[in-house]
């Protein structure tokens, strides 16, 4: 259970959410019949070792809700109070998302990344408002509001995906909306600048794209980067965020340029890896495996990752001096903790 009330969510977020939140993708047994507790604990420990503030328990894989809630309980048990546990509110219907967020709250989640179902096709801001408010009203947990192109709201509803006039309504009416993951109109940076200008005194503004986080943090305060596949860079993002908080911009900029070969490779592969406006969680799991995370098989249906993509992602890290695993790629599909 969270240690704050709905009306305290924003104050809790301002105080607690300082740093980077990575992603933990569920791991499964070799026969794919169950989740792999040993592997999940391994990934949780490594996230702590790498200096992450928290982790998102990813739900956008083939996993049942009971399995997912067990997955969250395992992370919570292994992490104790060393990680903020983020529930991934990405299920198929509003009713399922309400059941999931209430189950996640009981399982020990402290924060919610609010997503919108693939079959949700709003034609007005009011429909987005009603969906978002229904989820927010169903839980005591702090919520990350997430304007993003993945939902398909642009340009039908607004080019910014969730316009700031609607965000204003939601902040006024939902006291537990505590964070904005400001990727509206991606890849534009206008959303994060606009949200910071309009709402930065009320809620925490998150910039999850590290290539924008590091430059922008030198001209505007950004205390949080959540949630993203930061594990691709090992402990680098938590380390560079501390440098930024300490005002050590020259050192942070040096790391920015060091990372650039890996950043360019990852960005260049985005179109092939994330086709169909859907994040390739298999690729994200591979990125983590390159830095010591478990890897391992995912259930069908899942997107795939091929040798050319794996070679490119590894070479990007090599060129950046970020010491990826050189284990044979076949080991990724088994995982570091097979069960």
Please state whether 139 falls in left (phi above 0), alpha (psi between -120 and 50) or beta. beta
User: Would you say residue 37 lies in a domain?
Assistant: yes
User: Would you say residue 124 lies in a domain?
Assistant: yes
pLDDT number for residue 275: 67
pLDDT number for residue 308: 96
pLDDT number for residue 323: 97
User: What is the three-class DSSP state of 19?
Assistant: strand
Read off the pLDDT of residues 279-326 as tens digits, 9 standing for 90 and up: 999 999 999 999 999 999 999 999 999 999 999 999 999 999 999 999
User: Would you say residue 69 lies in a domain?
Assistant: yes
Domain that holds residue 149: 6-248
β-partners of residue 88 are: 113
User: Would you say residue 267 lies in a domain?
Assistant: no
Residue 25: CATH number of its domain: 3.20.20.70
User: What is the three-class DSSP state of 56?
Assistant: strand
User: Would you say residue 220 lies in a domain?
Assistant: yes
User: Would you say residue 18 lies in a domain?
Assistant: yes
User: Would you say residue 68 lies in a domain?
Assistant: yes
pLDDT number for residue 276: 64
Give the count of domains, the chain.
Answer: 1
pTM of this structure: 0.97
Three-state SS annotation for 111-142: EEEECCCCCCCCCCHHHHHHHHHHHHHCCCCE
User: Would you say residue 120 lies in a domain?
Assistant: yes
Phi, psi for residue 152 in degrees, rounded to 5: 80, 20
Could you identify the residue written with the tokens 């997430």? 146
Per-residue pLDDT of the chain (339 residues; tens, 9 = 90+): 799 999 999 999 999 999 999 999 999 999 999 999 999 999 999 999 999 999 999 999 999 999 999 999 999 999 999 999 999 999 999 999 999 999 999 999 999 999 999 999 999 999 999 999 999 999 999 999 999 999 999 999 999 999 999 999 999 999 999 999 999 999 999 999 999 999 999 999 999 999 999 999 999 999 999 999 999 999 999 999 999 999 999 999 999 999 999 999 999 988 788 766 679 999 999 999 999 999 999 999 999 999 999 999 999 999 999 999 999 999 999 999 999
pLDDT number for residue 240: 98
**Nearest one of 184, 115, 162, 103 to 143, comparing CA atoms:** 115
């Amino acid at each position: 259970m969270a240690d704050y009330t709905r009306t305290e969510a924003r104050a809790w977020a301002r105080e607690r959410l300082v740093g980077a939140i990575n992603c933990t993708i569920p791991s499964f047994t070799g026969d794919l019949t169950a989740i792999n507790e040993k592997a999940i604990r391994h990934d949780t420990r490594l996230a702590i070792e790498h200096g992450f503030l928290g982790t998102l328990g990813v739900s956008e894989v083939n996993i049942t809700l009971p399995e997912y809630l067990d997955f969250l309980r395992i992370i919570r048990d292994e992490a104790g109070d060393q990680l903020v546990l983020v529930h991934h509110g990405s299920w198929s219907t509003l009713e399922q998302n309400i059941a999931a967020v209430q189950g996640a709250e009981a399982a020990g989640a402290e924060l919610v990344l609010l997503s919108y179902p693939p079959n949700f096709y709003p034609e007005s801001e009011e429909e987005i408002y009603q969906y978002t408010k229904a989820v927010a009203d169903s839980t005591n947990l702090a919520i990350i509001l997430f304007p993003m192109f993945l939902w398909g709201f642009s340009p039908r509803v607004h080019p910014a995906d969730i316009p700031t006039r609607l965000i204003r309504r939601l902040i006024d009416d939902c006291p537990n909306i505590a964070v904005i993951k400001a990727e509206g109109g991606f890849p534009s940076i206008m959303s994060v600048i606009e949200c910071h200008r309009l709402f930065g005194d009320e809620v925490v503004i998150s910039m999850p794209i590290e290539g924008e986080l590091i430059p922008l943090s030198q001209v505007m305060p950004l205390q949080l980067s959540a949630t993203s596949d930061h594990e691709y860079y090992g402990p680098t993002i938590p380390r560079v965020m501390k440098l930024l908080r300490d005002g050590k911009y020259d050192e942070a900029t040096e790391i920015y340029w060091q990372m650039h070969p890996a950043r360019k490779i990852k960005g260049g592969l985005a179109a092939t890896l994330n086709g169909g406006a859907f994040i390739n969680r298999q690729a994200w799991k591979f990125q983590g495996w390159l830095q010591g995370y478990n890897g391992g098989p995912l259930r069908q249906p899942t997107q795939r990752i091929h040798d050319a993509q794996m070679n490119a992602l590894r070479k990007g890290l090599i060129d950046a001096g970020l010491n990826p695993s050189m284990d044979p790629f076949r080991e990724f599909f088994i995982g570091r903790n097979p069960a």
